[in-house]
Structure 1
């Protein structure tokens, strides 16, 4: 549903001098007499009434003495007037930049409930600026072009730029409202073994436990549905000193979800705090950090010392996979996914039913 602004603000500003002029007329006092009683030049009083001179705190006190109207009344009138002027100026400036709306997925963000849906282009742009936490499109571009926000897989990033930025921003907003202790790499690495056991659980059970494990060790886990044209399934970034693991359900299967989680955990433990790592389907060769995160996730889920003997046996049947996954303490779907990735069984395998599928509970 399209909204109108909940707090209507007129596109004009009423100077406090109008109220002062009406007050003088009501009590039969001239501007000259008011100026004399206040000890101020007549042109100052005239300037206030005409809206060219501001009511200062000192002036408001003098008005209280002469007119008996509290100084706070006059200072509030002046403040509201200046606020209205500033907002009108901002609306005028933003009105020249509404072309930015063509770059951002406004409609989809509104449909998700991430922002309000307005008809007026300036209100739409204000809503986008509020979402990104910036004053204008200029700052938005500058922030998301900073070197530390140099997205991995940048060749795909160009076409999805603001959809991907909005998706990451949603993760930042979740991190902003999530209280976690200071991050400790040692404790987080230690708890990953316990998290590994959650792979056997259903989503309704493991999701709150997974978030709690992460939060207790200083990590924010943000599950954010992907936006169109992002093709993203996971990301790692730091916000306000907090490491954030941000995941989608792009492939909707447990093997992909859990590999993505441990891959992002690997980035947190192995790599720096400045870069944002975004995992996308773009093909091509992997960078060093991506290979390291892949190896970290692979070995944590299925340690090489156990996986190699299993491969050599070649018992890639339901029974063989179930027995191996049970011994490893992980979900069988993860084993199926690993075998498919390594080319040992086809992706269109009748063993795919061993994978659990996940769905979003809502559109957000």
Structure 2
């Protein structure tokens, strides 16, 4: 047997008042007579006829007795009328919101399989709204600009808040799938030495290991590819008072940048509030707190007294860098990155000591 379904979606709505008016004409019944038969005031009947008043269950029963048409019939008419009106309003809203899609990196999100692809633009918009977990673009304005987020962002690239929020949303989705113990500050600090020892290992080892270590202290670590128009390396926020999220984009694809970004975000968790919004550079990032997070990362990765002694020797050969890195238990690429950052080593030198990473989809 063939299953035939009527998927016709009308672009107009017939009100119960229109149907009631038709039935009165059919019966040659005046509004005044209907008022007497039902006990409804003439004013209320006119409001129903003009679709200014809805047919309630009580009214439906009165109409059933006066006109012989089941109460369910009138209630179904009213429900259908409301549904069609809502769909028409939704279509009109979607039409107005289509321009917003231009600021969403839909192609990249589809490629990363965050969302499905649709030929119809309105369906694509609905899919993006589902991804964000919001009913309309208006709710995006309420939700995302007010997120408590601290992120390290390039000051040289154009940034779209919509693209950044999509990246953050994906991190939120992935973090929600990581089971974490309630946040424990002392335990989190204790795990950092174990995490630092992972800098010398490959991603297949350090990614699950650091995620497990941090989750045991209430911090979810997620790796999410950066989207176009985000210029973002990492972000930190709290999903709730017992669960923090560190989100890493692997933007620069070398171990020195990745690990510095991680410990920078750790600095925000340990040093700063759970409800603060950090925006760097032109985006209003609190420079003082950014500096504090940077200093924290530097000190965690390389004890500064030992680093100062190493710098004083002025021997930045590959062998010397590798030996120093091994003595303090970190990857040599991190030492190279810090020397380059301080302009003690030319950015062209010793880069082969760095580990380079790439995403599986690349």
Normalising by structure 1, report the TM-score: 0.75
Matches within 5 A, 1:81-160: 82-146=82-146, 148=148, 159-160=159-160
Q: Contact (CA 8 Å) 1:233, 1:279: kept in 2 or not? A: no
Deviations 1:91-133 (A, max 9, x none): 2222122221222222322232212222222222222222222
For residue 154 of structure 1, report the CA deviation from its aligned partner: 9.8
Q: 1:57 to 1:214 in 2, by over 3 A?
A: farther
Counterparts in 2 of 1:254 and 1:261: CA distance versus 1, 3 Å:
same
Matched, 1:354 2:337: no
User: Residues of 2 paired with 1:153 and 1:204: CA distance?
Assistant: 26
CA–CA separation in structure 2 for the residues paired with 1:85 and 1:128: 23
Q: Is the 8 A contact 1:95 1:121 kept in 2?
A: no
Whether contact under 8 Å (1:235, 1:247) holds in the other structure is yes
Determine helix, strand or coil for the equivalent of 1:140: helix
SS in 2 for 1:97: helix
Tell me the residue number matched to 1:342.
342
Residue in 1 that maps onto 2:19: none
Q: Does 1:239 align with 2:211?
A: no
Matched, 1:215 2:215: yes
- Alignment of 1:312 with 2:312, yes or no, is yes
* 2:272 paired residue number: 271
Rate the CA distance shift 1:278–1:253 in 2: closer, same or farther, 3 A: farther
Q: Distance in 2 between matches of 1:92 and 1:283?
A: 34
Structure 1 residues 15, 176: CA separation in 2 closer, same or farther (over 3 Å shift)? farther
Whether the 8 Å CA contact 2:234–2:247 is kept in 1: the answer is yes
CA pair 322-156 structure 1, distance change in 2 beyond 3 A = closer
Aligned 8 A contact 1:199 1:206 in 2: yes
Q: Is the 8 A contact 1:197 1:330 kept in 2?
A: yes
Contiguous gaps of at least 5 residues in structure 2: 1-6, 17-26, 63-67
Provide the rounded CA distance (Å) in 1 between the counterparts of 2:185 and 2:309. Answer: 31
- Structure 1 counterpart of 2:9: 10
Matches within 5 A, 1:42-57: none
Task: Tell me the equivalent position of 2:256.
Answer: 255
Query: Aligned pair in 2 of structure 1 residues 150, 332: CA closer, same or farther (>3 Å)?
Result: closer
Aligned length: 341
CA distance in 2 between counterparts of 1:172 and 1:9 reads 37
Please list the CA deviations of residues 237-287 of structure 1 after superposition, one character each: whole Å capped at 9, or x if unmatched: 22244311111111111111111101111111111122344679x899981
Name the TM-score, length of structure 2 as normaliser.
0.76
Q: The residue matched to 1:96 in structure 2 has which SS? A: helix
CA change 1:76–1:131 in 2 (3 A) is farther
3-state DSSP of counterpart to 1:268: helix
1:227 partner SS: coil
- How big is the shift at 1:231? 1.8
Whole-angstrom CA distance in 1 between matches of 2:104 and 2:324: 47
- 1:23 counterpart residue number: none
Following the alignment from structure 1 to structure 2, what is the Cα–Cα distance between the partners of residues 300 and 78?
A: 66
Please tell me whether residue 173 in structure 1 is matched to residue 178 in structure 2.
no
Shift of 1:314: 2.4
Q: Are 1:226 and 2:226 an aligned pair?
A: yes
Indicate if the aligned counterparts of 2:151 and 2:233 stay in contact, CA closer than 8 A.
no
